[in-house]
Amino acid sequence: MEWFEAMEFIARDVWRITKPGGRVAILTNDYLKDKRFIPVGYRMLSLFEEVGFEAVALILDVHNNYVYNSNAFIVANAKRFRYRLNALRQIIVFGKNPTGD
C-alpha cells in the first residue's frame, strides 16, 4: 500500500471516530523525492477535505537553508549552484461539522 493510500484509510478512520464539532490537527512536511518536489501538506489538505473535514486553520513554518532531511547530493548541489534549500512544514487543523455531515 502506497503512503498516500494509507493516509486516505487513516483520514476516513479519523473521520469516523471524531465527534461532530470535533477538531483534528496534523503536522506534515513537504519533501524532495527523485529531484521532484512533493507537496505533502496540500495533498493531505485535499485528502482530509475529500472525506468530509473542513480546514479551519493552516499554520506554515518555513525553514531556510534546511539541510536536516536533505540527502548529500541535494546539499552539495545547493552549495555548488548557490540555491537555498527551503522546507515547509504545515500544521493543518480540521473541523468536523457539528451535525456530523
Tell me the pLDDT tens digit for each residue of 20-71: 999 999 988 877 677 677 788 888 999 999 999 999 998 887 765 554 445 5
pLDDT at 47: 93
Q: Hey, which bits of the chain come out as E strands?
A: 23-29, 31-33, 36-38, 54-63, 87-95
Question: Would you say residue 63 lies in a domain?
Answer: yes
- Residue 101, domain member (yes or no): no
Q: What is the CATH number of the domain that holds 58?
A: 3.40.50.150
In a domain? residue 43: yes
Q: Report if residue 100 sits inside a domain.
A: no
Say yes or no to pLDDT of 96 above 90: yes
User: Where in the sequence is the domain holding 81, given as residue range(s)?
Assistant: 3-95
In this predicted structure, the answer to whether residue 77 has a pLDDT above a threshold of 70 is no
The count of other CB atoms within 10 Å of the CB of residue 90 is 19
**Predicted pLDDT of residue 74:** 57
pLDDT in tens, 5-24: 899 999 999 999 999 999 99
**Domain total of the chain:** 1
